[in-house]
Amino acid sequence: MMKMTSTMTNTISGMPRKRGMVYMLTTLVLVAVSCQKDSDPKPGPPVQPVAVGKAQVWLTTGDQTSLLARQSDAAITTAVGTPTITLDTTTRLQEIEGFGAALTGSSAYLINKKMSASQRSSLLKSLFNATDGIGISYLRMTIGASDFSLSDYTYDDMPAGQTDYPLDNFNIDKDQDDVVPMLKQILSVQSNLRIMGSPWSPPAWMKTNGNLKGGKLKTDAYDSYAQYFVKYVQAFKAEGITIDAITPQNEPLFSTATYPCMEMQATDQLNFIKNSLGPAFQAAGITTKIVTYDHNWDNTAYAISILNDAGASQYIAGSAFHAYGGNVSAMSVVHNASPTKGLYFTEISGGAWATNFSDNLQWQMANIFIGTTKNWSKNALLWNLALDENAGPTNNGCADCRGVVTINSTSGTVTKNVEYYSLGHFAKFVRPGAFRVASTSFESSTQLDNVAFINTDGSKALIVSNAGSSQQTFIAKLGARQFSYTIPAKAVVTIVW
């Protein structure tokens, strides 16, 4: 694609003054046409917009000439033009809990064992520090092994033919190798971090087939498995790590994988939450959220059926979705059915099947970041935080997935992938506790998309993507003021003020 070399003009008008924020001032000249009568008033001087503050502009272009890079200053001015979109910060929609990825066993291993102390410190700062990096504020972790672990394991493995219903053998020893120390170091960089845990399989002795792969949860193991979650939350709490939320089963409708997995139909999950997990958390005084489903957009009935059951719903904070099937609008379908419950987006991976930076950037904006938040998601999480140059280590799962970053397993050097920049346009500027605010849509012919937020400190963030093949200028209005910006083709911009 041809590189953009022209200088872009940006205008911000009418936003409250805030220090350290930058914009370019565009002058609008009003041309007065004089009438023929001598008695008509003479035209006055051209109307000039009044600068009232500054804002920041951060840009990523599809041709990679700009990668989450700070742009030239632009002034906030009084309103003088016709808006393309209108923002309304008084209409607050869902609260944002954070943006991030999954610290899988493989990711934790690479960061802990394949990097020097200085390399590790630099990487964690670039991932989790909001000033010097992209400020990731939400992580997902696997409860036991997944397809990105060093081996198959759970927190209560027993020899074949033996059981442990009292969970006397429960321990998180396997996670003490890499996961626990890396979570602790991450928390030292980003203390305001939410963590969601998801199991790929319960212990094999709890399952109908006695195997970590496939099968279903035995009905006589429901109460024991509920206590397994209680012990998991308590064990990590003892390490100083708070688990904010759990899902009962990762991808419960996919049970034929060659890595740990389990079938858990909606009726099974409903009964497990209603009769075992919810009461167990309540009895133990555990406030960790229970989030249902945790699978693709192509099924809304699963979550809705559980949320419609009053006995189960009382224990449930919301439902979670992946993007390997269906359309992001499914999240709004579930929201409309249960508007008091939260929506969470918990997994998607890039990989060798899609390597074009520009295409990936636009797809991720349309579907994962702008797309999920416009459809009521409280978070947006990518899959592996880090993988090596061979897309691993993998545990019989995806052989060509891509992490947010790639860590060279020999040198420890880091490559920031397109996911890093996509994630950064949100995580760095939309902080936990922010609210999505109302914003009108661009005309569909423009191929522009947007979503807007207000943070707890009063700062605002507008993210706009341009999927079109040419640069476009838009005007956004907020109250009596407005701003304009010229966004390059195939680019994403975050504007904060």
Distances (CA, A) of 426 to 229, 463, 464: 31, 8, 11
What are the backbone dihedrals phi and psi of residue 487, each rounded to the nearest 5 degrees, phi first?
-100, 130
Evaluated on CA atoms 101, 107, 111, 114, the torsion sign reads negative
Tokens of 322: 């992946």
The 3 state secondary structure assigned to 138-154 is EEEEEECCCCCCCCCCC
Q: Which residue has the tokens 């010097």?
A: 132
Tokens of 301: 């009935």
> Would you call 219 helix, strand, or coil by DSSP?
helix
Q: Cis link prior to 46 (omega < 30° from 0)?
A: no
Chain Cα centroid distance, residue 95:
13
Tokens of 62: 């599809």
Can you list the pairs that 350-356 forms with residues at least 24 positions away whose Cβ atoms lie under 8 Å? 350/382, 350/401, 350/402, 350/417, 350/418, 350/419, 351/391, 351/398, 351/400, 351/401, 351/402, 352/391, 352/400, 352/402, 353/400
| Residue 389 annotated in active site | no
389: DSSP letter: T
In the set 347, 389, 419, 443, the catalytic residue is 347
Q: Kindly report the number of other CB atoms within 10 A of residue 340's CB atom.
A: 8
Give the separation between CA 15 and CA 79, rounded to whole angstroms: 9
In the set 97, 251, 263, 419, the catalytic residue is 251
Q: Kindly report the number of other CB atoms within 10 A of residue 195's CB atom.
A: 22
Residue 309 CB-half CA count within 13 A: 20
Q: Bridge partners of 351?
A: 401
Q: What residues are labeled active site?
A: 251, 347
